[in-house]
Amino acid sequence: MTRRVPAAALAAGSVLLLAACTLPGASAEAPAPTSAAPMAAPKATPEAVSTRLFDGDCDAVLSPEEVSTVTGLVVARQAVTPLDDMGGGHAAVAALGGVHCMWLAADQGSVVSVTVIPASQAGDEVAAQSASQPYCYGAACSFSVTVGEDWVAGVVYTADGIDPADAADQLVALIAPRAAEQPHDFAPLEAATRVDCATLAADLDLPALLGVEGVTLVDGNGPAEAGPGVYGAMAAIGQGGCLTDGAPHIELNVLPTGGWLLGVVPPGESTGVPSGTGLTIRSWTDAAGRAVAFVSFDGALAQASSDQVPLDTLIRIAQGVAGAV
């Protein structure tokens, strides 16, 4: 892999539900978030990916010891499920049948992020996201390469004296034979139909739901430094997001084929299945005090989250998103 050092910082290129998230202490050379594209509506098809490479187990992809040896950093794997980090792209990767893994160094500013996604599921995004890779800046490189039936991509930071592009090559060499042993029986995906946030806001009638006059929705932001696989997965599956343009702060998302994730990755508290609605609802309050509600419908998944709105209100909003799109 030939290292290239661009003049510009790496920029996020896809859409996201949540406000942009960056790792604590991330390098100042890391790219900034971008504006989101319109949110995607669900696909009216029962076909959906229901299996994942490595069964979603990051320890089967790479061990922390392997990552530490290759990068020269002492790392620990971040234990994050797709629904915990829907805005960071985990759910989009999982819905394509892939796995998204992150290892954080002790300094909290250096990260190794890897996605392994069936290339057939990501489609044209593989080539689109790979065109300018590897993409190096400071002590890090993003990378993107197809090995066998899979697309392996990510971001690698390294210790002083270790070339991150070389480290990326070594990580790919470890992953490739393991990925080749995985079953690759995935249902085809269809293109999602997009709706914009202003239209969704009008359909939801947020002022009535929230009791706040004038509240509407604007496009969300893209993640910073998530890696080509995350951006590509979000674009391929049609994930997008909206935010309220003022108080109360609410984040909304639709993942067109993500409904099955509620069963594969069960959250804490569940409100069950309301009789006669055809919806599956799960909701909880996370460790940071943020209320999160998910509604599964027609194979799709709607999410509403906020630290300023009661959980029962978020459930009604998520149900409204399901009805609106």
Which tokens hold the place of 43?
């696909």
- What token pair was written down for 310? 């009661």
pTM: 0.78
Q: pLDDT: is 193 or 285 the higher one?
A: 285
Q: What is the pLDDT of residue 182?
A: 95
Bridging pattern class, strands 240-244 and 217-219: antiparallel
Query: How many whole angstroms separate alpha carbon 151 and alpha carbon 121?
Result: 10
By residue count, the chain amounts to 325
Average pLDDT over residues 174-186: 94
Sign of CA dihedral 312, 286, 273, 254: positive
pLDDT at 283 over 60: yes
CATH topology of domain 197-324: Protein Transport Mog1p; Chain A (3.40.1000)
- pLDDT tens digits, 210-269: 989 989 999 876 666 778 999 999 888 888 788 999 899 999 888 887 787 877 654 444
Mean pLDDT of the chain: 78
Tokens of 156: 């690698």
DSSP state letter for 286: -
pLDDT, residue 142, reads 96
Which long-range CB contacts under 8 A does 58-65 form with residues at least 24 apart?
Answer: 58/99, 58/101, 60/178, 61/99, 61/101, 61/114, 61/116, 61/175, 61/178, 62/101, 62/103, 62/114, 62/171, 62/174, 62/175, 64/103
Q: What integer is the mean pLDDT of 140-148?
A: 96
pLDDT at 1 over 80: no
- For the stretch 19-47, pLDDT in tens is 333 333 333 333 333 333 444 444 333 34
The 10s digit of each residue's pLDDT in 295-307 is 888 888 888 899 9
- Amino acid, res. 161: G
H helix runs in the chain, sequence order: 58-61, 64-71, 90-95, 119-122, 125-130, 164-180, 197-204, 206-210, 228-237, 261-264, 311-324
Confidence (pLDDT) at 58: 95
251-85-139-133 Cα dihedral, nearest 10 degrees: -90
The whole-number pLDDT of residue 319 equals 86
Query: What average pLDDT does the segment 95-117 reach?
Result: 91
> CA–CA separation, 139 vs 159, rounded Å?
8
Percent of the chain with pLDDT over 70: 76
